[in-house]
Amino acid sequence: MRARESSLIGLAALVGVLGGLVVAAMGTAVDMLHEVFFQLSTVDHSSVLHVQIAERLSAQLSLNPYLAFSVPLLGGLIFGAASEVIRRFRPDREIDPIEANALHGGRMSLLGSVIVAAQTVWSSGVGASVGLEAGYTQFASGIASRIGYAFHLRRGDLRVLVGCGAAAGIAGAFGAPLAGAFYAFELIIGSYSPNTLAPVGISALIGFLVAHSFSPAEIGVVGPEKMTVETRDLAIAAMLGLLTAALGIFLMRGVALCEMMFSRLRLRPALRTMIGGLVVGLLAVVAPQVMSSGHGALRIIGVLDLSIRTVALVFVLKILASIASLGSGFRGGLFFSSLLIGSLGGHLLAVALTTMFPTSYFDPNAYAVIGMSALAASVIGGPLTMIFIALETTGDLWLTALVLIAVIISAQVTREVFGYSFATWRFHLRGETIRSAADIGWMRDLTVGKMMRQDVQTVHASTNVASFREAFPLGSTAYVVAVDEADRYVGLVHVAETHAAETLPEKSIKDFLHYTDEMLLPGMAVKEAVLAFDRAEAEALAVVDSYLDRRVIGLLTEAYVLRRYSAALERRRQEMLGEE
pLDDT digits (tens, 9 = 90+) for 455-502: 888 898 888 888 888 888 888 888 899 998 888 999 999 888 888 877
Q: Residue 540 pairs with which residues in a beta bridge? A: 557
Average pLDDT, the chain: 85
Contact 464, 505 (CB under 8 A): yes
pLDDT of residue 54: 44
Supply φ then ψ for residue 328, to 5 degrees.
-85, -15
Euclidean distance between CA atoms 219 and 369, whole angstroms: 12
Euclidean distance between CA atoms 25 and 545, whole angstroms: 52
Contact 44, 216 (CB under 8 A): no
Q: What is the DSSP letter of 438?
A: S
Question: In a 10 Å sphere around its CB, with 0-12 CB exposed, 13-18 middle and 19+ buried, how is residue 85 labelled?
Answer: exposed
pLDDT of 46 > 60? The answer is no
User: How does pLDDT run across 99-139, given as a tens digit for each residue?
Assistant: 888 888 889 999 999 999 999 999 999 999 998 888 999 99
Q: Which range (4-13, 24-33, 224-233) has the least confidence?
A: 224-233
Interhelix angle 269-286/308-328, rounded to 10 degrees, is 170
Q: What is the DSSP letter of 59?
A: G
Euclidean distance between CA atoms 457 and 529, whole angstroms: 21
How many other CB atoms sit within 10 Å of the CB of residue 160? 29
User: How does pLDDT run across 418-440, given as a tens digit for each residue?
Assistant: 988 888 887 777 766 676 666 66
Contact 20, 173 (CB under 8 A): no
The residue-averaged pLDDT of 71-90 equals 92
Contact 152, 122 (CB under 8 A): no
Could you tell me which residues come within 8 angstroms of residue 539 by beta carbon, excluding any fewer than 6 positions away? 533, 557, 558, 559
482 CA to centre of own chain: 46
Handedness of CA 259, 265, 271, 275 (dihedral sign): negative
Could you tell me which residues come within 8 angstroms of residue 85 by beta carbon, excluding any fewer than 6 positions away? none
User: How does pLDDT run across 512-561, given as a tens digit for each residue?
Assistant: 888 888 999 988 888 888 888 888 888 899 999 988 889 999 999 888 88
Residue 52: pLDDT band (50, 70, 90) is very low
pLDDT of 35 > 70? The answer is yes
pLDDT of residue 439: 62
Residue ranges per structural domain of the chain: 5-439, 442-572
Interhelix angle 335-356/364-380, rounded to 10 degrees, is 140
User: How does pLDDT run across 386-418, given as a tens digit for each residue?
Assistant: 999 988 888 888 888 999 999 999 999 999 999
Euclidean distance between CA atoms 77 and 269, whole angstroms: 8
pLDDT of residue 150: 92
pLDDT of residue 473: 87
The residue-averaged pLDDT of 303-318 equals 81
pLDDT of 48 > 50? The answer is no
| Fold exhibited by the domain 5-439 | Clc chloride channel (1.10.3080)
Euclidean distance between CA atoms 95 and 104, whole angstroms: 9
* Better-predicted residue by pLDDT, 368 or 226: 368
pLDDT of residue 50: 41
The gap between the terminal CA atoms of the chain, to the nearest Å, is 14
Could you tell me which residues come within 8 angstroms of residue 12 by beta carbon, excluding any fewer than 6 positions away? 160, 161, 164, 198, 199, 200, 202, 203
At residue 23, what is the residue type? V
pLDDT of residue 446: 80
Residue 441: pLDDT band (50, 70, 90) is low
Task: Let me know how long the chain is.
Answer: 580
Which runs of E-coded beta strand occur in 396-462? 458-460
Exposure string of 236-251, with b = 16+ CB inside 10 Å and e = fewer, is bbbebbebbbebbbeb
Euclidean distance between CA atoms 71 and 281, whole angstroms: 7
Handedness of CA 168, 172, 173, 175 (dihedral sign): positive
At 54, which helix (H) or strand (E)?
strand 52-54
Contact 354, 362 (CB under 8 A): yes
Exposure string of 11-22, with b = 16+ CB inside 10 Å and e = fewer, is bbbbbbebbbbb
pLDDT of 42 > 60? The answer is no
pLDDT of residue 220: 58
Q: What is the DSSP string of 216-256?
A: ---------SS----HHHHHHHHHHHHHHHHHHHHHHHHHH
Q: Under CATH, domain 442-572 is a member of which superfamily?
A: CBS-domain (3.10.580.10)
CA distance to 125, 295, 304, 477, per residue, from 307 (Å): 28, 19, 9, 83
34 CA to centre of own chain: 28
- Report the SS3 class of residue 508: strand
The residue-averaged pLDDT of 368-397 equals 90
pLDDT of residue 41: 67
Provide the percentage of residues in the chain whose pLDDT is more than 90: 41
pLDDT of residue 242: 96
pLDDT of residue 202: 96
The residue-averaged pLDDT of 79-91 equals 90
* Better-predicted residue by pLDDT, 266 or 162: 162
User: How does pLDDT run across 214-273, given as a tens digit for each residue?
Assistant: 876 555 566 666 667 778 889 999 999 999 999 999 999 999 999 999 888 888 888 999
Q: Residue 453 pairs with which residues in a beta bridge? A: 555
288 CA to centre of own chain: 29
